[in-house]
Each structure stands twice: as structure tokens, then as C-alpha cells.
DNA sequence: TTGAAAGCGGTACCAT
DNA sequence: ATGGTACCGCTTTCAA
């Protein structure tokens, strides 16, 4: 397909970027035909299509410009994924990460692209990336402002690990999961139970709760897990006072160690430590080892999430599998299949490993 | 700003999406002024700008449509990040993950967006997402086809953990890192050294190498690490035969366990196990425990990468910190600052922890 | 299968 | 600060 230019140089490397129209001219066909070759194979003969695709590639044209096509069609094939907090933090969190894996799997399968968005909207910094995606997946308790903003685009939205009446959602049964693991870990009324909770109150310091805190509304997920723990404890005739509950502001190993250290040095020492994430449970195991507390003989530790690392620790962690990857898949499917009103609740599964008596 | 419609209903929720032109009409200003309000604050009075932003928001207009703006300006403020293998796999890999964290950090800071791309281009499935980004960051040894494809867009490209003469790159000194850790772990000529290598040859099964394999070219990164190991071993008068090296096709815990099990059951048993990733080293520690081999007393294990989990294992892993997050930051900065020709090589750092004698 | 043409929603230049 | 306008690249309808 290379042709001699008038100056005799073989035209190997065109530097100029061609557009569809120019490609059509070069190939001696109409723009409609070139467009169809890329978008609607049924509108032309297989042979012509083949030729067009091939020669276009040789001209350095690899398909319609996404911006132009999006503008014209009103569809970008891009899905926006908005994560709670900063992108950087979310990427480091194993649970968010598994969710992204599930989403990515389905999007790739369906030929969609994934645009990562942060829910942190800087004051006055509208950057308008929200206008590109055909739909959104929001993870976690996105602040009302960002949520409204996304909603106002009028595009389909699926929420994960949170619930709003306006949109479809994918959740797990946090309360039931927490109930079952607590029921499993707490043997009888003689247990001393402590809880290492995640995002229970609104402060960014690690601290114990007070009875007053328990009356406050907190983030749904944590609230549900806490309720599940308490229900199980009551059923075993155990009471867990607020002073035996710790608040950890983010799911971070170091903060969790601080809380675990406090919780394991009170007197009398807990016999059961219910942790609201595996990251926290892993930290608790490390602290227990540091303090020469044998797990599980002297202390049962439970996690939540079932991240890969929880199966690899010593001892491995008894936890609640929340199927994060599957949640991602479901969210993506709901979105792509236009199920804009469903509220899915996935089952949790109790995963028994070595960290409990 | 709400107005009464002729039917007397307060016009709170317009359902119709407005565009910039309509907003301009509603506000009684020109399109240029609205556009300037969003893009060039210096072109109008602060007061007018304030008013426009506010009233536009009330009309449900949150800024220029990204597709249209991109089409017109030729810039999207979107950066494409292309990962080796499937997106799903890459997201699960802690090193890729840290890289993404670093990239995300800088992009958010600079008001850019991140589009995740997979290097797996399905046969004939050009979908043109490549036309959107203003530039690309490629991670790992992307296949030549995808690489050429991206290069042909003519947009700036930064490669991480790989090197091509056509583009800027960010790498670490793999050979030196490997050399130093091997030098640290191998005490004298009496050591029996085994290597659990990553992507050393071209097969997707775990297997031992043969002498013939060593003559083959393999992926640069692995090759460099292997060379570093060998250099250190020679310096201690140790020879590492090909039969003491294992190939692991991907950085996966289960595959690594298989290899570790083979390596630790040969006779005589190795005294030093050099692992080309922390995931592999962590697997080796588990296998050693299973086989009742004491680490580090009977067996020194080294890792590579310094992922967070390596500091948390028991014993924690002596490894090479490759600053993955920083690599991500540097790559993003290089790209955004238009340094299209630099080849950065970051320092590695030997991180001594408990897994070596 | 084709040619022609109307926008999709903005930006930026120009003259005013 | 404004109105007017050409144009960014593509899709799709229409008539041929």
C-alpha cells in the first residue's frame, strides 16, 4: 500500500494524523463506509471491511476518535468508578482493591473502559470528568455533595456498600455476618469481649467509645456490624460495654495496632477480640504476639472481609467472607444491564480458620 | 434565581440538560463569557464569574462537557495507564498496586484523570480508548504490538519497569538490588543457594531451569536480578546450577508455594533461598513452616519489592525496597512535565529484617 | 454502497 | 466583556 511520493521517497512514516474523512479519501470510499467498517460490520461486505481496516491501519488510523464519537453518539463506553476518600488510599485498601478487580473483569469483558474518580472534589474545582462516563459505580459512603453531583448527571448509578433510594445498590448483610462470627467466637457468658471497630464515630483519632457514642448514628456498615456483634453477645448473656469498644478512623495497619495495644493491655484482658476488618485482625495478631498472648488459646480474634492475607497469617484468621470481587462484578453487571433500581444483598460466609478457640 | 413558569409551578428541577449555549442565554451573557468563567478566570471580573458559576449550578450545569471540550481543544486531561496482562490480575498484584497509588497521587494533585487500560487487545477489537488520553504510562513488558500501537498515537509515553529507546522510562537498578541482597544472604562458599525466579523463561508452568535456559534471553527485569544474584554468589565462591533455579510464571502465591515445596524438598536442602518477589518469599516462609524448617536458623529467605505484607510476616522478610509508589509518582511527573526523553533509574534499598541469618 | 450535510457541545479568535 | 463564527472528528439520515 505504500506509494511513491512525487519526490521519490517511499511513504513509510506519515507524521500527520489522519481523520476518518481523510482516510476515506485516501481509500477512495465514503466516510459512511469507513465509519461502518469500524462500527457496523453488517453494513458492508466482509471483504471491503477487511480491506478498509487493513489499509486504514497502514495509514496509521486505528479507529474513530473517542471524543468525537462520544460527542456525536452521546455514549463513551467509559464507566466512572468513584471511590471514597482519596484514590491513593482506596488503591491501598485490599477490599476496595478486590472490588476494583471484580469491576474490571466485567468491564473488560464488555468492552468498556474504567475511569477512576476521586470523591474528593476540591473546593470550586469542578473538573468535569463526570460528564464523560456513561454511568457510575460509587463505592462506600460518598459524601452527599459528591453524590448529588453525580446523580444530577442523570446517568445510571450503582452504589456499593451503601444505600440510597435513588439508585440501585449492591450490599452484603453486614449485621448477619457480624452476628454469625460473634456467635461462633463467643462461647458463653464468661467471655470478656472487646471490639475493634472501624469508622464508628466521627473523629480521626483512635479512641474508646463512651455510652453516649452508642446512641449516635454512625456509618451504616459499621453500625450494622456492631448491631450484629451485640445481638450475638446478648444471646450468650454477655454484655459489651462501650468502654470495651475502640474506634479506628481508617482501615490502616498502624492505627489498628495502636487500638489493639490498648485493648489487649486492659485488665482483665479480653478473651475475644472482634475486629471489623481483616487488616485490624492481622494487626491484633501481631500485637498479641508482641505481648506474648497466645492466639487462639488465650485470645480468640475474628476479622471481617476475608482478604487474601487473612488466609496466610499465623494463625490464619477466622473471618466473614464478603465476596468483594463478586460485589464488583455484580455492580458492573447491574450497571451495564440497565438494572437501575435493584437492591442486591449478597450472602456472607463464615470462614473458620485458626484464630479462634 | 427560581422563576415562576406560566403554569405557576416553581421551576426547581429542570429535567432537560442544558448546554453551555443555553446557559449563556438563560443568564443573559455570551457563550464566550460562560466558557471563560469555567476555563479562564482572568478573562472576566471575579464577581461576574462567581455569579455565572453559581447560577449555572442552579440550572444544573456543572461545567463543559468533556467530550466536546476534548474534541475542540485536543486535550482531555485524561492519562491512560496501561498494565501488563489483564487489569484484574494487575489490580491484585501488590507492586502494580503501589505503582498505581503513586500515579494516582500525582494525577489527582494535577487535576488529571486516570483511565485504566489493559494491554490485552482482543483480536481485531480496536475500541479506540487510546485516542482519548493526553499521554500514557505503560507498566512492565508490554507486548510489542500494543506498544507500537500506543506509540503511533504520537502522544507522550512513559514506560515503567522496562525500557525502549523511543520513550522516557522509570526503572530501578534490578541487578544491583539483587546483588546486594544476595551478597548479604550468602555468607560463604558452603551455602547451598536456590533461586525462586519470576518469569525467567517462556512457559506458564512452574519448573526448574536447565543450563540451556540460562543462555536464553528472558524478561529484562528478571534477567537483571538473576545476574545480580549470580554475581554475588560467584564473589562468595558459590556456584548456583540451573537445577537450583525455579521458574514461576506469574507472581501468584499458590504457584510460588508449589515451587517452594519443590525447592525445599531437594537433597541436600538449600540454606539460602533467593526469591524474586515478596509474594514468593512469603509463600516460601509458609512452606518452610509446613516442612518444619526453621527460618532463619536453618534457611535464609530473601524477597524483592518490599510490599507492606513483607514487614508483617513472621519472620518479617529481608528484601529489596524498590519504591514502587515513588516510581509511580516519578512516572506521572515525567509525563506531565513533558520530560519525554529521560531515563530515570531509582535507587533500591536493602531492607534487613528477620528472615536471614 | 455512496455523497452530502446536519449537528453533537465547546473553544478561541475577531472585531466591536 | 461581548456577539459572531469557524471548526474539532465523527455518526447517521436521506436520497441517489
Q: What is the CATH number of the domain that holds A165?
A: 3.40.50.2300
Single out the residue in B64, B94, B115 at which a domain terminates: B64
- In-domain check, residue B259: yes
Those residues with Cβ within 8 angstroms of residue B235's Cβ, 6 or more apart along the chain or in another chain: B183
Judgement on whether residues A196 and A120 belong to the same structural domain of the protein:
no
Same domain, A225 and A125: no
- Tell me: do B289 and B224 sit in the same domain: yes
Average pLDDT of the residues of chain B: 89
* Position A356 in a domain: no
What does the alpha-carbon distance between residue B92 and residue A98 come to, in Å, rounded to a whole number?
7
- The answer to whether residues A314 and A178 belong to one domain is yes
Is residue A1 predicted with pLDDT exceeding 60? no
**Which domain covers residue A28, as residue numbers?**
2-64
Which backbone phi and psi does A14 adopt, to 5 degrees? -75, 135
- For cell 468563567, name the residue: B37
Mean pLDDT over A196-207 rounds to 94
Q: Choose the final residue of a domain: A64, A86, A110.
A: A64
Cβ(A348)–Cβ(A171) under 8 Å?
no
Q: Report chain A residues whose CB lies below 8 A from the CB of B92.
A: 97-98, 101, 308
Residue A62 at interface with chain B, using a CB cutoff of 8 Å = yes
Per-residue pLDDT averaged across B14-42, rounded?
82
Can you give the pLDDT at residue B120? 63
Asked if residue B280 belongs to a domain, the reply is: yes
Q: What is the number of domains present in chain B?
A: 3
Residues of A in contact with B104 (CB under 8 A): 86-88, 91, 116, 118
pLDDT digit string, tens, across residues A222-259: 999 999 999 999 999 999 999 999 999 999 999 999 99
Q: Is the pLDDT of residue A194 over 80?
A: yes
Q: Is B336 a domain residue?
A: no
Q: Using a 7 Å CB cutoff, list residues 235-264 of A near strand D.
A: none
Given CB atoms, is B55 within the 8 Å cutoff of chain A? no
Residues B190 and B298 placed together within one structural domain of the fold: yes
Burial class of residue B142 (count of CB atoms within 10 Å of its CB; 0-12, 13-18, 19+) = buried
User: What's the rounded Cα separation, in Å, for the pair A295 and A301?
Assistant: 7
Task: Judge if A165 and A209 occupy the same domain.
Answer: no
CA→C1' distance for A58 and C10 (Å): 32
Q: What is the mean pLDDT of residues A92-99?
A: 93
Would the Cβ of A145 be found within 7 angstroms of any atom in strand D?
Answer: no
- Check: CB of residue A325 under 8 Å from CB of residue A98: yes
Whether B132 and B195 share a structural domain: no
The three cell numbers of residue A273 are 477480640
Distance A142 CA to D3 C1' (A): 42
Adjacency order of strands within the sheet including B135-139: A343-346, A168-172, A157-160, A135-139, A78-83, A113-118, B113-118, B78-83, B135-139, B157-160, B168-172, B343-346
B121 and B145 in contact (C-beta within 8 Å)? Answer: yes
Q: Which of residues 58-87 of B touch strand C (CB under 7 A)?
A: 61, 64-65, 68-69, 71-73
pLDDT in tens, B57-108: 888 888 888 999 998 988 898 999 998 877 888 899 999 999 999 999 999 8
Q: Which of B171, B190, B211 is the last residue of a domain?
A: B171
Q: How confident is the model at residue A54 (pLDDT cuts 50, 70, 90)?
A: confident
- What nucleotides of chain D have any atom within 7 angstroms of a protein Cβ? 1-5, 7-14
| Class of residue A308 by CB neighbours under 10 A (exposed 0-12, middle 13-18, buried 19+) | middle
Whether B331 is covered by a domain: the verdict is no
Please tell me whether residues A88 and A197 are part of one structural domain.
no
Distance from CA of B62 to the nearest CA of A (A): 7
Q: In sequence order, what DSSP letters do the residues of A277-313 get, joined into one string?
A: SHHHHHHHHHHHHHTT--TTTT-EEE-SB--HHHHHS
B309 chain-A contacts, CB cut-off 8 A:
309
Give pLDDT, residue B341.
87
pLDDT on residue A279 = 97
Residue B58 and residue B10 share a domain: yes
Same domain for B91 and B105, yes or no, is yes
Could you tell me if residue A335 is inside a domain? no
Adjacent-strand bridge partners of B251: none
The total number of residues written for chain A in this structure: 357
- DSSP lists the bridge partners of residue A17 as none
Residues A151 and A11 in one domain: no
In a domain, B332, yes or no: no
A72 CB contact with strand D at below 7 Å = yes
Task: Considering only residues B302 and A71, tell me which one the structure prediction assigns the higher pLDDT.
Answer: B302
- The verdict on B181 and B92 lying in the same domain is no
In a domain, A69, yes or no: no
**What mean pLDDT is reported for chain A?**
89
Greater confidence (B54 vs A349) lies with A349
The DSSP annotation for A53-73 comes to HHHHHHTT--S--HHHHHHHH
Answer with the residue of higher pLDDT: B14 or B183: B183
The mean pLDDT of A334-354, rounded to a whole number, is 94
Amino acid at each position: 500500500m505504500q506509494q511513491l511520493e512525487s519526490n521519490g521517497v517511499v511513504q513509510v512514516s506519515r507524521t500527520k494524523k489522519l481523520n476518518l474523512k481523510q482516510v476515506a479519501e485516501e481509500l477512495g470510499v465514503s466516510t459512511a463506509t469507513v465509519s461502518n467498517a469500524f462500527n457496523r460490520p453488517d453494513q458492508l461486505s466482509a471483504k471491503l471491511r477487511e480491506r478498509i481496516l487493513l489499509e486504514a491501519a497502514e495509514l496509521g488510523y486505528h479507529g474513530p476518535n473517542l471524543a468525537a464519537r462520544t460527542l456525536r453518539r452521546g455514549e463513551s463506553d467509559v464507566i466512572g468508578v468513584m471511590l471514597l476518600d482519596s484514590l491513593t488510599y482506596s488503591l491501598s485498601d485490599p477490599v476496595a482493591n478486590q472490588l476494583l478487580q471484580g469491576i474490571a473483569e466485567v468491564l473488560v469483558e464488555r468492552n468498556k473502559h474504567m475511569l477512576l474518580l476521586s470523591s474528593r472534589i476540591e473546593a470550586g474545582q469542578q473538573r468535569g470528568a463526570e460528564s464523560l462516563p456513561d454511568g457510575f459505580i460509587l463505592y462506600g459512603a460518598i459524601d452527599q455533595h459528591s453524590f448529588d453531583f453525580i446523580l444530577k448527571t442523570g446517568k445510571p448509578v450503582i452504589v456499593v456498600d451503601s444505600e440510597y433510594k435513588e439508585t440501585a445498590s449492591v450490599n452484603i448483610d453486614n449485621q448477619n455476618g457480624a452476628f454469625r462470627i460473634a456467635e461462633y467466637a463467643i462461647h458463653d457468658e464468661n467471655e470478656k469481649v472487646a471490639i475493634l471497630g472501624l469508622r464508628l464515630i466521627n473523629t480521626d483519632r483512635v479512641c474508646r467509645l463512651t455510652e453516649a457514642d452508642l446512641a449516635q448514628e454512625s456509618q451504616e456498615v459499621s453500625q450494622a456490624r456492631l448491631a450484629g456483634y451485640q445481638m450475638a453477645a446478648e444471646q450468650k448473656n454477655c454484655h459489651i460495654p462501650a468502654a470495651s469498644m475502640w474506634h479506628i478512623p481508617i482501615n490502616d495497619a498502624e492505627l489498628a495496632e495502636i487500638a489493639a495495644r490498648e485493648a489487649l493491655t486492659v485488665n482483665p484482658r479480653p478473651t475475644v477480640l472482634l475486629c471489623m476488618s481483616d487488616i485490624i485482625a492481622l494487626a491484633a495478631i501481631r500485637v498479641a504476639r508482641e505481648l506474648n498472648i497466645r492466639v487462639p488459646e488465650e485470645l480468640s480474634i475474628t476479622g471481617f472481609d476475608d482478604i487474601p492475607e487473612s488466609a496466610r497469617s499465623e494463625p490464619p484468621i477466622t473471618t466473614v467472607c464478603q465476596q468483594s470481587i463478586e460485589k464488583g462484578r455484580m455492580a458492573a453487571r447491574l450497571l451495564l444491564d440497565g438494572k437501575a433500581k435493584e437492591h442486591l444483598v449478597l450472602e456472607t460466609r463464615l470462614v473458620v480458620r485458626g484464630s479462634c478457640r
